[in-house]
Structure 1
Amino acid sequence: MSVKVNRSVSDQFCLYKMPRLINKVKGKGNGIKAVIVKTVDVAKALNRPPTYPTKYFGCVLGAQTQFDVKNDHYIVSGSHEAKKLQDMLDAFIKKFVLCPECENPETDLHVNPKKQTIGNSCKACGYQGMLDTHPKLCTFILKNPPENNDSGTGKKEKEKKNRKGKDKENGSVSSSETPPPPSPNEISPPPHAVEEEEDEEWGKGTTEEAQRHRMDEISDHAKVLTLSGDLERTVEERVNILFDFVKKKKEEDIIDSSDKEIIAEAERLDVKAMSPLVLIEVLFNEKIREQIKKYRRHFLRFCHNKKAQWHLLHGLECVVVMHQAQLLSMIPHILMEMYDADLLEEEVIISWSEKASKKHISKKLAKEIHVKAEPFIKWLKEAEE
């Protein structure tokens, strides 16, 4: 069954339609996931890569996404109703597909990773504009432009080669030969004339509103430069930025409601897997067992993959170092709390227990922690059998 691309349109004869979104929930526990059916067909109707709406779902839900392009499998971790995903798809279409002028979906994206810009053009009304690059999905789009993307130097090089080929076919002069002088109408104006025009354009609005508008544009541009600049930093520097961000939320006493902001910042800095290490350092102390329950939602947003769970265990080791007298004997209980809260999987815990690591703490203390964890590991293996 098909639905309108723009479901707010009441015209029953609307030609812009797409297949209805269907999802199949598979797995259980930490491994539960929603496999979105017909993602490729929906994406074709929207003229967007199928990874874009899938990633958008992940950004909104704070969930992991997986793309198996070869087998047309597009997956969002967690259990989600088809109606909820369809409503999210409407929001994606409004932001990244529909023309802001005529609200038709006949648009193309023009991504320029070098300038960190995303353009939007409409084939129906001729509209051309720029998308706001602040939404989290835009970071993904800038890293993964559409295959038919015609922005940037690639298009210029292609056009240059095509022109050269046509020149040779038509017997035109080569680049080494002197071109004919331009006609009087084609002569470019002197540089100062162009500068005067630009100055005139800038000076058109002298009202407070115009000046404020220009300052907002400069401020937005500066934000984009800051965002792109952070990604050029080392992993350690980006983790430290996230640490300061989380610490500030805690100091301002708004940490309880900041889980969505934290995951957004982690995604922006591209350090999502390492985030549990940061969270556990800022949020946990000798009262860790109570704090696991209190901040469970914050950790669940990250601990859907094994790499993040490994960082959570390493973070636990660091907390034990700081509160060794109170926590060393409680290791089995802490691991049980994390396991019951769905923050850790059996496979990860057992794998961690097989070898003590000195990456974050001393080898001696790492071995002590592993010895203390043995009763829980034994119970886990027996329960699994």
Structure 2
Amino acid sequence: MATVNIRRDVSDPFYRYKMERLQAKIEGKGNGIKTVVVNLNSVAQALGRPPAYLIKYFGFELGAQANPKPTDDRWIINGAHDAGKLQDYLDGFISRFVLCKKCKNPETTVVIKDTRILLDCKACGERSEVDGRLKLSGFVLKNQPKKGKKDKSTKKTRRERNKEKAENGENGETNGSPGDSPSEGDENGDVEVGAHSDDEFTRRINAEAKEIEQDDEIDDDQWAVDVSEEAVKARAKELPDDLKRSLITSERHMKALLGGTERFVGKERPELIPQVPAILLAYYQEDLVSEEVLKSWGSKASKKYVDLPTSKKVRKAAEKFLEWLETAESEDESEDEE
């Protein structure tokens, strides 16, 4: 599905924050005509906001009735409205209810404090206030999530993370990175809404992963077949310095890096699939992903980031690297025994 920059005034193709382009379907006729926003849930998740906020904002701006609590996830606005017009209105929502007023970064959470709506920026630390005179501001204040209750748009991601932590024997503590999703109630009694999930971190990784693409003259077979130590070192030197930054701080982030790479290579740039062994080797050589996480990732396909057939295809391409990893470990053990 086509994506656009969350800030559409930014033309940089490597801008980190992406969302799906809005898709709308007009149904009915006459007085019963209505517009269904097909992918509202996905767009809302990319923005870190409940979809109810978006649909009500559209309703207010268009002067049309919009149901913020549909029973079947069919987000409907009365009347006929094309996707392009809705996308323009979405820019206004993003400017007013998502972007940090200081750094213009979309990595914010909504904090309700008394009768004020604040945007807490995880990038620069600024807390800026939303204009309380806006119609949607009244809706947000009247529809605060109860403490301890999670918004529907974030439940699935949180369940998946909790399951993953249980499987890995983690105690549930986080490193507090900008990609983590904070709870709705903090020690000050503030209520936070729509914090970014692991998918935000994955989107960052997707942007970083785009920089690993090599020049068109390089033979794909060279990347797919040659896994000698000399070849690995040579290719690692060609990687951009951005991939050597300290992005990865926990096992969860390592898995997110692999998931983001899997999505980028498997779905967006499938012509890079033959280069998967080289990509993984570079991650391994640069200590971005541990041997244990790489082996665990390679042992079983997953549909968390892509569909199952694509996941299997990417792991199939990684077999040469995984075999090399096993061989290297065996050789090290033999040397230790001698």
Interval containing the TM-score (normalised by the shorter chain): 0.3 to 0.5
Task: Give the TM-score, by structure 2 length.
Answer: 0.43
Q: TM-score, normalised by structure 1?
A: 0.38
Q: Which structure's relative contact order is higher, taking Cα pairs within 8 Å and 6+ residues apart?
A: 2
Larger Rg belongs to = 1
